Structure 1
Amino acid sequence: MKIIFFLSLGFCLAIPWSKGSTFLVTSSTDTGPNTLRQAILNADATVGRDTIEISAMLDTILLSSHTDTLHRNHLWFDDTLVLFGNGIVLTTQDTGRFFQNEAYAWMFDVIFLGGTSSLSGNGGAFWANRSITFTHCIFIQNSAPSRGGAVVASTNGAITPLDTSDIVFINCSFDSNHSGITGGALWVRLCKARLEGCSFLQNTSDGTAPNIYLDQGEITLAGLVAFDSAPQIVHGFRGTVILAEAFEVPLGTEFIIE
């Protein structure tokens, strides 16, 4: 096990690349004009770093339609994307996660509620295949039969790790997520993750790691990351845990890296 303590000089969120188009979501239905699904299709078809903003007048978007022969209802995007959720609740009627990204992304103020992965068994709400930053997002009651009840960050067997800017969570909350094997909230594989000012409450796993499982990667915990009574914050295999400034280790905390 390797645990490193250091003082951080601060973390800055930078959004590079030239700006593309902006798409406004005003419909809470699953498909059709002005929906989130259509906005993502439009953004993917537009060159540049596109922005999607969900109207603050919307409360909930229910993703319910299947989009291919695999009965997969989650949203894919492979062009650089910024999403402003304005507190929107994303939920799903059918079995499926919400997103999988194949390009750089930034997500602000989104609530992921009740996502369930049934195809791969991993990542109940989100599968991160490229660098992504979540800010003020909430992951609640998501589940996966295998790994990462809320989020999976993995290279999926690629030769190189997830891009060096990695996966970042800033002031996010993981509450009551569940996995069947490991990583009740988060599973990080062969990449780097940073959690700053996040909270983990009542996440569970039938196997190991009710909160975070680290598989040959690196996790930085910073800015008073809060955990509930579950002592095992990180369980993993051949990984590194970095405890940055203002991170407090509660009495009885366990970091288990085999």
Structure 2
Amino acid sequence: MPLSTTETGSPAPFSPPTPTSLPIVDSRERFYLNRVYCVGRNYAEHARELGNDPDREPPFFFAKPADAVFAVTEGVLARGVAPHTVPYPPETDNLHFEMELVVAIGVAGTDIAATDALAHVFGYGAGVDLTRRDLQNAAKALRRPWDLAKGFDFSGPCTPIAPASVVGHPEAACIWLDVDGARCQTGDLADQIWPVPGVIAALSRFVTLRPGDLIFTGTPAGVGRIEPGNVVRAGIDGVGDLEFLVT
């Protein structure tokens, strides 16, 4: 592959990376990713299962690299097609799933009022925040960052983005996840401590949200361990579903 060149015409050390994107439902267009933010402890029962008090905490955020997110198409096994595969990450013995509503930002804004927040949303997806729980727990104990617990390769499988112009803005819908056919997580978007408008308003006080930003909005109770050989099926009613094999 020929080297790219710099603005001065001299050879650059490498070519620009391929942009990360997700398909858009019923479209040939793609949603190109800018940044990926995640909300922590946005369902009360999940916060409690991790030993935290959800009634005393405003929303807080962490990030994944954009290239950790990748598209997983819907209903793969149901159509008799081999499932997408997700490699088990290195340096962990305790990989966890966390099923989440994903918000795709389409209009830039900063210090957005909650009453105006949905006007900044392009659409929605259903994604899994894969977590190296042992690394996260060790980092917490040492008061160190969680980056490598959350931001590793293939840590953000996500459905295609469903435009809000088609699916609306889901406020109450079943969110669920199965492992090998057994229901592990089930909840309702209505149970979020901070619904989507509040999440957008809070995050936009810290950063200017831009088209291409994704926000994983938190997970209901029931998070747990997955191993190589497990088949994960998950979804949000009216938004999308996904399916993958851990290898």
TM-score band by shorter chain is: under 0.3
Query: Higher relative contact order at CA 8 Å, sep ≥6: structure 1 or structure 2?
Result: 2
What TM-score, normalized to structure 1? 0.23
1 or 2, which has the higher strand percentage? 1
Larger radius of gyration: 2
